Structure 1
Amino acid sequence: MRRTALAFALVLPVALGGCWEKQAATPPPPHRMTAEDIGHYCGMNVLEHPGPKGHIFIASLIEPVWFSSVRDTIAFTMLPDEPKDIQAIYVSDMGKAPSWDKPGPDNWVEARKALFVIASRAKGGMGGNEAVPFSDRGAAEKFVAENGGRIVGFAEVPRDYVLDSEGEGTGPKDGAIVRGPAD
């Protein structure tokens, strides 16, 4: 009897661990955006701002973290002091959005699968440059034709475009001297 109980005690955690691992590997589905969702960095209701939004699921948090702009959403993934146990990153699919002012409460695309238009004339929720997400290349190309910019994948969004304090992300200003490691 003791051997059976001991064997069960050793096998049960392994069996349950396999189930937990499968559950953890499936990312949570996106949430519908509501009036209760508050931007992580601005502390304001995300619906009060035009343009695309984002939300990130963190394994160590119960609720998703909301953002008033996609640029802020991407910045969260780049900043060293933010949690790194990211399960899913969802951004507004602007190819399916009713309008720029109303990006839609539930037309999300997983950010790592999206295409982004950067350096366009479109301004994000807080008035800065935006990384405008699309699930469809044709919709992204149409946006570029109308608003300028260029198309990049999630991993190709330049760090300085997202984290530049002036929101320009264009590199050195005119007349600036660029020095390399040897200087």
Structure 2
Amino acid sequence: MKRILLLAILALAACKEEAAAPPPPATMTAEAAGHFCQMDLLEHPGPKAQVHLDGMPHPLFFSQVRDAEAYRRMPEQSHAIRAIYVSDMAVAPDWENPGADNWITASSAIYVVGAAIVGGMGAQEFVPFSDRAAARDFADRHGGVLMDMDDIPDHLVFAPENAPENAPSGDDDSEYLDRLRAITNTSGG
């Protein structure tokens, strides 16, 4: 009887471990559309991201890594995030073709932040690498600093592409610009 009980406990433990394992990354295909923009990912340069949600059979794809990080940090999520994968630009063929299967976990990547190159949606990008030397080489060529994702402050994640001080001003939109300045100048992290 003890032997049967022990086997049952081991089987349940194995099921829990299997259920807790994150899903593997999905291959980026022509059917993959950006979650926010609903545009074909293959038509946009730069690294991409995919977010796997609890209870959802397919990941959410993002045209830019920065967009996936914004999604992760937004408090309004309806499902728990099980895994986030980003394009590994250390092994990507090039900027125009970041690769369909060279995914790494977002938490393990080192990011080049502030490079003088834009992502797939024309906004500043957080460029992920599995290799620190490759990230350093990219930063030497394009500018930027190396950071872990959790060290990137909220104001860089949520800042609009055209910062308020660079946006055209006029009497009709000054109140909007003031509110936008207030939002982007407060950093929660």
Normalised TM-score (structure 1): 0.82
Distance across 1 between alignment mates of 2:162 and 2:125: 9
Counterpart residue identity of residue 27, structure 2: R
2:117 match: 122
The share of aligned pairs that are identical, in percent, is 41
The residue number in structure 1 matching 2:59 is 64
How far does the alpha carbon of each residue in 1:15-60 deviate from its partner, in whole angstroms, 9 at most, with x for none?
Answer: 6653332112211111111001111000111111000000011112
Q: Which residue of 1 aligns with 2:23?
A: 28
SS in 2 for 1:131: strand
Contact 2:124–2:161 (Cα < 8 Å) also in 1: no
- Distance in structure 1 (CA, Å) of the matches to 2:165 and 2:162: 13
1:23 alignment partner, SS class: helix
Where is the helix percentage greater, Structure 1 or Structure 2?
Answer: 2
Structure 2 residue 129 is the aligned partner of structure 1 residue 137: no
Kindly indicate whether the alpha-carbon contact (under 8 Å) linking 1:120 and 1:148 is maintained by their aligned counterparts in 2. yes
Q: How does 1:31-180 map to 2 (within 5 A)?
A: 31-83=26-78, 85-166=80-161
Paired residues of 2:85 and 2:103 also in contact (CA < 8 A): yes
Amino acid at match of 2:110: L
Unaligned runs of 5+ in 2: 167-180
Contact 1:161/1:167 (8 A) holds in 2 = no
**Structure 1 contact 129–167 (Cα < 8 Å) conserved:** no
Deviates more, 1:90-99 or 1:75-84: 75-84
Structure 1 moving runs of 4+ over 4 Å: 14-17, 176-179
Amino acid at match of 1:89: I
Are the equivalent residues in 2 in contact too, given 1:30–1:108 (CA < 8 A)? yes
Give the 3-state SS of the residue equivalent to 2:141 in structure 1: helix
Distance 1:53 1:161 in 2: 18
TM-score by length of 2: 0.79
User: C-alpha deviations, 1:62-98, integer Å up to 9, x for none?
Assistant: 1111000101111110011124511111000001010
Q: Report how many residues are paired.
A: 167
C-alpha contact (below 8 Å) 1:67/1:73 kept by paired residues: yes
CA contact (8 A) 2:51 2:83 kept: yes
CA distance in 1, matches of 2:153, 2:147: 9
CA contact (8 A) 1:77 1:84 kept: no
CA distance in 1, matches of 2:162, 2:138: 20
Q: Secondary structure at the match of 1:118?
A: strand
